[in-house]
Structure 1
Amino acid sequence: MSAFVVAPARTLSFRAALASLALALAACAAPNPPAAQHAYVDPIGLFPMAAYDQNVDHWIDPASANDDTPFLSAAQQQAQWNAYLARYFGTGERDASPWNPAYIANRLFGQGGADIVDLQLRRIGNYDNEGKGRRTIGYGQSYLPHSARWIDDIERNMNLQQFGQAPRYSPRARAIATDALLVRELPTMDPSFYSHTLAGQGYPFDNLQISSVRPGTPLYVLGHSVDGAWDYVQAPDVQGWVLASGVGSADDAFIANWTHRPSTGWGVAITASTAVSDTTGVFRFNATAGTLLPVAASSAPLPSTAPGHHTVLVPARDIDGRAVIREAQLPDTALAPAPIAATPRHLSLLIKSLIGRPYGWGNMNFYNDCSSELQSIFAAFGVWLPRHSSAQMTAGDMTDLSTESPAQRLDYLIEHGKPMRTLIYIGGHVMLYLGNTTRDGRTVPVVYQDIWGLRPADNSRRAVIGGSVIFPLLLTIPEDPSLESLAATRIFQITVLGMPSGAAPPPTDENPAS
């Protein structure tokens, strides 16, 4: 017999407590549905991907004689790389670098800070539910609408007056990302969803989430939140609020040590995410694909095939908020000389690292969406792509096929598309053309894309894919013919990457997360 015996009175009390607990738990759970309900169509379902081969080697054949033949010429890639470095560190009049005095003075402060204030006010207005009644658009946790107090507290913390008080370039505002940073429209990590009942809304589409910034990215700090937790920054491709704990101020000495090196003195992360610890064992950040880091002077040259580890510089933030340089060692399976050769073999390597990862709207949880997926890939080749999917059409020689029929669009792509360097934009979504295949006796294009899902023409639901996949462009979707073909959207544009485009467009208030 057990040595522990519960007395009868205590047993009754214990059972009563359990009953009370069960009632309490039931009160927190969803109530039982009524016997009779209206028919409900779930706006979210899963698309069956089983019939679509995701083996990268089946689409980019490693045994092909062309596997090491570049799809960008040496001259094209060198020009792209030069433009990439100028975007990060350039000081020419047209170089859109956050560390470039001319860019900050002429492009960011061209209106004396008034445009920055206006942008902040528009963003506040987007999330202010006051007076909108049944048109409440901003929902946070637990489906609860954002309150007036919520947006008022955020507005006070933004200190809008600061953006018009010193509208001129200051070298003390230069900074660098010392961590991977999420970029937010407002200084809060609270989400804002539109509706969980509408297809293409609700999770994961947090409308406050703009993008992310890789570690080692140059920044210009335009302002600070009142509580000191947030910085409002200009990055090379996006403007928004980031956590101040991941920002280190960069003085002349730091910038000289970071940037004064030959164009071959850089390494680029080639895996989806690599943990980086410095040589003292302190974890610094996760380097996502495309992260650019200087090679330490003491490091041997970065070979493309020899095994080993290579020493790179990593930025850190000291106790006073200043950027300092540490060293870290990364394996050559995670880091390659920048830029890597733009060959099918290397593209396959990058896709293998990224394919199948979850879709992340605006880099939610540091996953990619469609445009950031292509950014991550082409950054390794030294090719700069804008953050927004529509703006990526400006990165090459664009052809607008929007007035053509879906069949004509696909025929044009099959005949004129350049595999591995042709981007396809269909309105809010962008894809990479890999080449052609035969399906049911018909030649069809094959694309790589990070996609949320497919939808019918009436936009009433989503067949969720929710990640990066290889997929054919078909005139009809055999698993569900009611779903709209990706070739049948209102917009259909393609651009072929080659020589870099001209100067970058000025910052806008368009959320670049699509």
Structure 2
Amino acid sequence: MKKFIAAIILILLGSAACASEPAKNFCGATDNMLSADYWIEHTKRARQTILTLEETAALSRKIKDTPGTHCTDILAYPAILPRSLILQKMKSFSTRPQGRRYIGAAEAGEGFWRRVEENADTGAVKETEMIRFGVAVKNGLIKTLPCEEPLYSGADDILFDMNVESAVKIWEPLAVLHESADGEYFFVESPCCAGWIKKDGVALTDKKTLKELAARDFYVVTGSRVTTDIRTSEPEAGRREFFMGTKLPAADGAVSVGGVSTAFSRGVLVPERGVNGSLRAVAERIPLGAELSHGYLPYTQANVIRQAFKMLGERYGWGGTYGSRDCSAFIRDIYLTFGIELPRNSLQQALTPAERTDAAKLTAAEREKLLAGSPAGTLVQMPGHIMLYLGTIKGKPYIIHSVYALAPSDAGGADGVTVLNCVAVTDMEMRRRNGSRIIDNIANINIIR
């Protein structure tokens, strides 16, 4: 009888233990893991400064000076370039790609490609070109080719436009190298990529003005996105939207902007395109309640986590389409708030000259051990994707990332794949379409310090 009662007690205790264990969703995360505070509480030295402002600036310079990162210091860009160098830069942006491309359900035909190549107009590049400079006056897209048609690698694969290189933020400086034959596009280099941008999204200026603007007191957008008010005088213009990481020059003190007092707001400068395409900076106000930092945020693990969770659940957007972020833009925007200018693409981010470990030949157990000793915010890269490490709970590493589709750990291959299409917190047991786990695919682990 005593043995029977003891057995019953053990069963009840086991049931109580199971009941107290938080339930996990199919990504392996419990409800409490969906809070930044949870991960900060589980992070050692979470509020300790990792790099000072001087050190983050030095790291950004080092990234720009490292070949292969595709990061460019526009303020140090040459005033003149020879034709040969411009054509080299334009090579993959002026000719048809190797693989097939589809416009909707139909394959792009010879007539389309001829029109695009003619519009690139590489024959018009002079032996020596004077480089023009400008800034983005609105959030937009930098295209691979000088055309508006979306180009898919598969018929009607509308979520993945191969004609998109990257998003560009308001105030991003640009070097203008060439103009399309139809006069609609500039071929530009931005701080993190090259490609074609619509001319109406660019205001031209000179390098001296760019340097003066860069030297001004500034604010950084720390929310996922913030907006201005609608101006009484221009209601049709709507609100301006600024994405995380946007650097906004501070405006000189004004008692009001657009008929609204600045006593409870921050005055910033925003760029506009004049009639002749030249830059003019106008004062705008952003309410004090908006998520803006006066200068860069301190680079701490706690701040990395908080910045990441501000985008939790936001939809995935390949290259910046749908006004959203893909995996590498998610990472880059977080680090921009600390003044660290990472490369645009996932592989280049993984190879950033920081504290990188080549994890390709490590076992899953070795990777897990390495991550367990790494700080929150460590970059974890596998072919075609990059993730942000959060921490290890009960021996299991967790990540936050902007991801399209994965399968839970107990599923196999494409049959179990679920479209997430958003920023998600997941374990690393989740599987790819081929059935392999995330942890089994890790190629690089990079601590940004």
TM-score tier (shorter)? 0.7 to 0.9
Q: Report the Cα distance in structure 2 between the residues aligned to 1:185 and 1:351, rounded to whole angstroms.
A: 28
Superposition pairs of residues 152-163 of structure 1, within 5 angstroms: 152-163=114-125
* One-letter amino acid matched to 1:73: L
**Equivalent position of 1:34 in the other structure:** none
**Equivalent position of 1:387 in the other structure:** 344
1:367 aligns with 2:327: no
Q: Report the Cα distance in structure 2 between the residues aligned to 1:234 and 1:460, rounded to whole angstroms.
A: 42
- 1:254–1:325 CA contact under 8 A, matched in 2: no
Greater share of strand residues, 1 or 2?
2
1:495 aligns with 2:429: no
**Equivalent position of 2:398 in the other structure:** 446
Structure index of larger Rg: 1
Taking structure 1 as reference, are residues 189 and 462 closer, same or farther at Cα in structure 2, changes over 3 Å only?
farther
**Equivalent position of 1:181 in the other structure:** 140
**Equivalent position of 1:8 in the other structure:** none
* One-letter amino acid matched to 2:114: D
**1:271 shift after superposition:** 1.7
Taking structure 1 as reference, are residues 259 and 277 closer, same or farther at Cα in structure 2, changes over 3 Å only?
farther
Q: Which runs of 5+ in 2 are unaligned?
A: 1-24, 65-69, 256-262
Residue by residue over 1:13-55, the C-alpha shift from the partner in whole angstroms, topping out at 9 and shown as x without a partner, is xxxxxxxxxxxxxxxxxxxxxxxxxxxxxxxxxx945865352
**1:60 shift after superposition:** 2.6
TM-score calculated relative to the size of structure 1 = 0.71
Residue by residue over 1:210-256, the C-alpha shift from the partner in whole angstroms, topping out at 9 and shown as x without a partner, is 11111101001111122222111100110001111010001356335
Taking structure 1 as reference, are residues 389 and 138 closer, same or farther at Cα in structure 2, changes over 3 Å only?
same
Which segment is superposed worse, 249-258 or 446-455? 249-258
* One-letter amino acid matched to 2:445: I
Q: Report the Cα distance in structure 1 between the residues aligned to 2:303 and 2:428, rounded to whole angstroms.
A: 24
The equivalent position to 1:120 in structure 2, one of 79, 82, 93, is 93
Q: Report the Cα distance in structure 1 between the residues aligned to 2:254 and 2:331, rounded to whole angstroms.
A: 30
1:146 aligns with 2:108: yes
Question: What secondary structure sits across from 2:161 in the alignment?
Answer: coil
Q: Report the Cα distance in structure 2 between the residues aligned to 1:111 and 1:461, rounded to whole angstroms.
A: 50
Taking structure 1 as reference, are residues 124 and 276 closer, same or farther at Cα in structure 2, changes over 3 Å only?
farther
Superposition pairs of residues 96-495 of structure 1, within 5 angstroms: 96-102=72-78, 109=82, 111-121=84-94, 123-126=95-98, 137-141=100-104, 143-163=105-125, 165-170=126-131, 173-196=132-155, 202-251=157-206, 254-255=209-210, 257-261=212-216, 265-276=217-228, 283=238, 285-298=240-253, 308-332=264-288, 333-395=290-352, 396-414=354-372, 416-420=373-377, 422-438=378-394, 443-454=395-406, 462-474=417-429, 483-489=435-441, 491-495=442-446
Superposition pairs of residues 89-100 of structure 1, within 5 angstroms: 96-100=72-76
Q: Report the Cα distance in structure 2 between the residues aligned to 1:403 and 1:86, rounded to whole angstroms.
A: 27
Question: What secondary structure sits across from 1:297 in the alignment?
Answer: coil
- 1:278–1:328 CA contact under 8 A, matched in 2: no
Question: What secondary structure sits across from 1:375 in the alignment?
Answer: helix
- 1:278–1:327 CA contact under 8 A, matched in 2: no
Q: Report the Cα distance in structure 2 between the residues aligned to 1:277 and 1:156, rounded to whole angstroms.
A: 42
* One-letter amino acid matched to 1:409: R
**Equivalent position of 1:40 in the other structure:** none
Q: Report the Cα distance in structure 2 between the residues aligned to 1:87 and 1:433, rounded to whole angstroms.
A: 21
- 2:405–2:419 CA contact under 8 A, matched in 1: yes
Q: Report the Cα distance in structure 1 between the residues aligned to 2:172 and 2:368, rounded to whole angstroms.
A: 38
* One-letter amino acid matched to 1:412: L
Q: Structure 1 vs Structure 2: percent identity of aligned residues?
A: 20
* One-letter amino acid matched to 2:74: P
**1:138 shift after superposition:** 1.4
Taking structure 1 as reference, are residues 335 and 184 closer, same or farther at Cα in structure 2, changes over 3 Å only?
same
* One-letter amino acid matched to 1:398: R
Taking structure 1 as reference, are residues 187 and 119 closer, same or farther at Cα in structure 2, changes over 3 Å only?
same
Q: Report the Cα distance in structure 2 between the residues aligned to 1:179 and 1:328, rounded to whole angstroms.
A: 14
Q: Report the Cα distance in structure 1 between the residues aligned to 2:161 and 2:85, rounded to whole angstroms.
A: 31
**Equivalent position of 1:35 in the other structure:** none
Q: Report the Cα distance in structure 2 between the residues aligned to 1:85 and 1:401, rounded to whole angstroms.
A: 26
- 1:70–1:341 CA contact under 8 A, matched in 2: no
Q: Report the Cα distance in structure 1 between the residues aligned to 2:348 and 2:83, rounded to whole angstroms.
A: 22
Taking structure 1 as reference, are residues 399 and 95 closer, same or farther at Cα in structure 2, changes over 3 Å only?
closer
TM-score calculated relative to the size of structure 2 = 0.80
Which segment is superposed worse, 325-334 or 445-454? 325-334
**1:331 shift after superposition:** 2.6
Residue by residue over 1:154-177, the C-alpha shift from the partner in whole angstroms, topping out at 9 and shown as x without a partner, is 2222212133x144443xx11111
Q: Report the Cα distance in structure 1 between the residues aligned to 2:29 and 2:85, rounded to whole angstroms.
A: 56
**1:326 shift after superposition:** 0.6
The count of residues paired between Structure 1 and Structure 2 equals: 404
